[in-house]
Amino acid sequence: MTERLADPGEEPAPVVLPVESEAEMEQLGEELGRRLWPGAVLALNGPLGAGKTTLTRGIARGLGGRPDQVRSPTFTLIHQYPGRLPLYHLDAYRLQKAAEWENLGPEEYLEGDGVTVIEWAEKVITCLPAELLEIEIAGVGLATRRLVTLRPRGDDYRRLVSEVARVWRGQKG
Ligand SMILES: Nc1ncnc2c1ncn2[C@@H]1O[C@H](COP(=O)(O)OP(=O)(O)OP(=O)(O)O)[C@@H](O)[C@H]1O
Ligand SMILES: [Mg+2]
């Protein structure tokens, strides 16, 4: 049993980062965006108004794109923004079943050269690649403080999370 506890295992402990404001949420997105690679997938969860789109705005900036153009793709389902890498911004909120997701032709994005960010990803999580970064935003209702939980699936995402957590905690002193 003790050995199992010492084992790094398939699922590392999630990293929880405090985010105090909308501006900080964008900043966290930027730290992520600067380090993303072609084919990276980010699965965002959290209630209405949690800050998923705000985080995505920061990701767009980190990718060298225009954050001011980023809006929730709630009705259009997909937005695409140019940058160092293209950013595919999807929203599963209005999807009723997995078949509707498949109709969007998601492999074009998920297996493409860009970065894919999905809001309300829990609705389609079974349709997503095994390796991705799950990001859950909690704490809505407590003024502007949020807790952002990062759950990396796979080594690339694990490295990304430890790097961003190191930088984030360093900035917070
Ligand atoms: N720490 C914070 N991080 C992000 N947004 C915050 C924060 N504090 C307050 N806000 C406010 O919460 C709202 C977040 O909106 P946003 O569109 O990013 O949420 P969302 O999770 O994408 O919602 P939806 O599910 O409706 O798409 C904004 O109005 C923003 O000003
Ligand atoms: Mg949104």
Q: Where are the domains of the chain?
A: 15-171
Q: Which ranges in 47-154 belong to alpha helices (H)?
A: 52-62, 98-103, 107-110
In ligand 1, which atom is closest to the CA atom of 55?
18
In ligand 1, which atom is closest to the CA atom of 24?
1
CATH 3.40.640.10 for domain 15-171: no
**Nearest in space to 31 (alpha carbons), one of 151, 171, 126:** 171
pLDDT computed for residue 3 by the predictor = 46
Question: Residue 32 corresponds to which tokens in the numbers above?
Answer: 């992520």
pLDDT computed for residue 171 by the predictor = 85
In ligand 1, which atom is closest to the CA atom of 48?
25
pLDDT computed for residue 68 by the predictor = 85
Interval between CA 52 and ligand 2 midpoint (Å)? 5
The length of the chain, given as a count of residues: 173
Contact indicator for 32, 58 with CB cutoff of 8 Å: yes
CA 14 – CA 156 distance, rounded (Å) = 15
| Ligand 1 atom 3: residue of nearest CA | 22
pLDDT computed for residue 45 by the predictor = 98
Interval between CA 49 and ligand 1 midpoint (Å)? 4
Interval between CA 21 and ligand 1 midpoint (Å)? 10
Q: Are strands 146-153 and 132-138 parallel, antiparallel or unpaired?
A: antiparallel
Contact indicator for 168, 31 with CB cutoff of 8 Å: yes
Q: What is the pLDDT along the chain (173 residues), one digit of tens a residue?
A: 444 454 445 667 899 999 999 999 999 999 999 999 999 999 999 999 999 999 999 999 999 998 888 887 776 788 999 999 999 999 999 888 888 888 888 998 998 899 999 999 999 999 999 999 999 999 988 799 999 999 999 999 999 999 999 999 998 76
pLDDT computed for residue 1 by the predictor = 43
Mutate to test the pocket of ligand 1, among 54, 55, 117, 118 (most ligand atoms within 8 A of CB): 54
DSSP state for residue 67 in the 8-state scheme: G
| Ligand 1 atom 27: residue of nearest CA | 72
Contact indicator for 41, 110 with CB cutoff of 8 Å: yes
Contact indicator for 46, 64 with CB cutoff of 8 Å: no
Residue 12 Cα to chain centre, angstroms: 17
pLDDT computed for residue 10 by the predictor = 60
C-alpha distance from residue 162 to each of 7, 8, 69, 95, 126 (Å): 18, 14, 29, 33, 25
Question: Residue 104 corresponds to which tokens in the numbers above?
Answer: 């969007």
* Residue ranges lining ligand 1, Cβ < 6 Å: 19, 21-22, 25, 46, 48-54, 72, 119, 144, 146
